[in-house]
Every structure is written in C-alpha cells, then in structure tokens.
Amino acid sequence: MTITTFNPIFSLLLVSMLFTSCNGQTKSKRKNEMVVEQLSFTSKNPKLTKTQGTDQYQQVGCSLKDKSGNIWFGTTGEGVYRYDGKVFTQFTQKDGLCGNGIFFMIEDISGDIWFGSKDAISRFDGKKFTNISIPNTISSSFLYNNSLNNNPSIKNELWSMMQDRRGKIWLGTTDGIYCFDGKAFTRFLDINILNTSKVSLKWTQCIFEDKSGNIWFGSWVLANEGICRFDGKSITQYKPYGEGWVRSILEDKNGDLLIVTRHNGVCRFDGQKFSNFTEKGGIQNGSINLAFEDKAGNLWFGTELGSGELNEDGGLWRYDGKTFIRFTRKDGLCHNGVYSIVEDIKGNLWIGTRNTTLCRFDGKTFTTFSE
C-alpha cells in the first residue's frame, strides 16, 4: 500500500528538548533540526534499576528486540533501558530523550530506534537523539457533541506509532492519524480516500499493518470507533460484539487477527467473522492488555485486574494450541500486572509489569531483572 497524494497541512517541526547536562552536547544538524549528542548515558547496571523516583503505579509498558539482538524496554516514568545481554543502559531526558514517560517504540527499516512520549518523538541512531514534535493542533470536531477537546490551545497528544513496510511512520494522536515521511507530517484523513463510515480516527490506541499491507486502527474509548481497516483506497469499520475500545492488534501464524478489546476479551477475526478467543480459556474479558506470539507459535496474554498485587489478580497466560495455562506471582512472576512481552534471540520471554518490574521466563523459571 502506497500513499502518493499527500498535501501537507503542517510544516515539520524538528525541535530538540534542551537539557543542561555536563555529559551532553546540543548542536544544529541542519536548518530547523536540533540533535542531542551524548558522550555517556544515565546509568549502566546488571539489572533494570530505577533512578527517577517513580511509584508502584508506573510500568514497563512496551518492549522490542532490535536487529542487533538488543532488547529495549520503555517505561512510563524511568525513560528507556537497552539490554545488550550483560548490562542495562538507561536513557532519560537528561540524555536527550523526548521524555521519561515512553509509551511506544519501533525500529525503523534503517535500524534507528524511535520512542514516543506524550507529545514528542525521539529518533536514536546509536549515538545521538533527534527530537521531533508532533503537530500541535486539535480541531473542534473530535467529539460529536463537542464537549471535550474543542479548545485549539490544548496540546495534541501521541497515542500510537507504527512504521509500514514502505518506511512511512504512522502516528495516532488526539487529533487523528498523521503520516510522517521523514520531512513533513500529513493528516491522513485529509487525503482522497473513501470513508463511508465517517470515522475520525482520533484517539487511536494502536496501529497495525497486516501481511497483506492493510493498515488497521484500534480506537480508544473516547472515540469509540472499534477497529478500522484501510486497504489503500477505503476505510472499513468493525465493532466486534459492539465493542468500540481496542487495546492492541496481532496477526497470528495462520493470518488471523487477534484483537484485544476492553470488554470482550481477545476477538479472533478470520477475515469474515469475529469470535471470542480467550473467554473459553477462563481469561476474564476486561483484564487483557496485550497478545503476543512466540517463535514456537504459542500465544501469550498479559493481563491485570485490580491492583495486580494479589495472586488471584491478572497474570500471564499461555495458549499452546490446546490449553490455556496461567502464571502468577506464586509461580515466580515478578508482578501480576503484565503490560509488555518480548522474546530474545535465545527464545526467552521478557515480561514487563507494573511497579516498573521486569522478569525473564525460560519456559520453566522466572528470573527477576529489576530492583
């Protein structure tokens, strides 16, 4: 899928978050672009060590494995950590990162790592950060009753981020979907596409590209638009079981979509119909945060109920094609509120949880890697 008729309505704002640090240097790379070049970083430790004073409600909310085999962990208050197999290197605002609350991470086709905070993006090339502000405008038509976010002075917020196979960055924001081609932003719905359902695509919580090149958008509760598919020409809207809130999207090895919803569990979509996939396994519908498929084809689900502190609340679930099995703190899981899962090159799973805790699961034993 290629979009070729962009007419940008916003100029690119490339700005640097300027921080006073004896370790960093700020310089102009080219007109309108500033970079923060760092000679050393916040900390290096054998475990994920908190340095920013966050509380028990913060989390390791996103993770990824890069092309070099490093594992990255984004947190809601401690910046990001890179694990190279030996030590965790922490990056925070003082190192040039766009914020200490990082909610999204992607690796682009050139190997750079992108981090998304509430209102800005950082691109890291291995040596320096380049910080990019998202368009700072919100139109008055976000909600149909115009009761919220109708003040143009309210800052636009980032809610999701994805790079498609052709290299275009897709951003879900309070003001809708924006596309970034490396030079300029374009508001997606301003191009000539068929949108018969009249969706706004505002407050998009997740963006996903399937194996066929379709782009899928999962809506947060305020927009309540369910899941929408863009096939390159038109948008098709779905609301499985009437559900308007979609948390994450995964395509399994069979080509089916697993759609994590707020109230109806994980819905499997085979291209024609939806079915609740997780309820039969005993997972409570409102508890699921994410779905993940490992190299062996096992499906994993991160859940949380209540505080996540009690053994009966939340936990990690595995489906091997026949049986659902649940792991909790009594099995060694570091916390029952699970928010991210990533697999390393050896096949171990790294589980990010609430209280900014992290553990590794080798299939038999959980090992905690946070303190």
Write out 205-222 in H/E/C secondary structure: EEEEECCCCCEEEEECCC
What is the structure's pLDDT at 307? 65
What is the structure's pLDDT at 134? 84
32-76 pLDDT tens trace = 345 766 545 668 999 999 999 999 999 999 999 999 999 999 999
What is the structure's pLDDT at 37? 63
189-248 pLDDT tens trace = 998 899 999 999 999 999 999 999 999 999 999 999 999 999 999 999 999 999 999 999
**Six token digits for residue 158:** 């980032």
Q: Are 359 and 352 in contact (CB under 8 A)?
A: no
What is the structure's pLDDT at 140? 33
Q: How many other C-beta atoms can be found within 10 angstroms of the C-beta atom of residue 243?
A: 21
Low-confidence ranges of the chain (pLDDT < 50): 1-24, 28, 30-33, 39, 138-153
What is the structure's pLDDT at 41? 61
Domain map (residue ranges) of the chain: 7-138, 291-371
Rounded-to-integer distance, Cα 314 and Cα 164, Å: 32
What is the structure's pLDDT at 142? 31
Pseudo-torsion of CA 243, 247, 253, 254, nearest 10°? 10
What is the structure's pLDDT at 148? 34
| C-alpha distance across the termini of the chain, in Å | 45
Q: How many other C-beta atoms can be found within 10 angstroms of the C-beta atom of residue 81?
A: 30
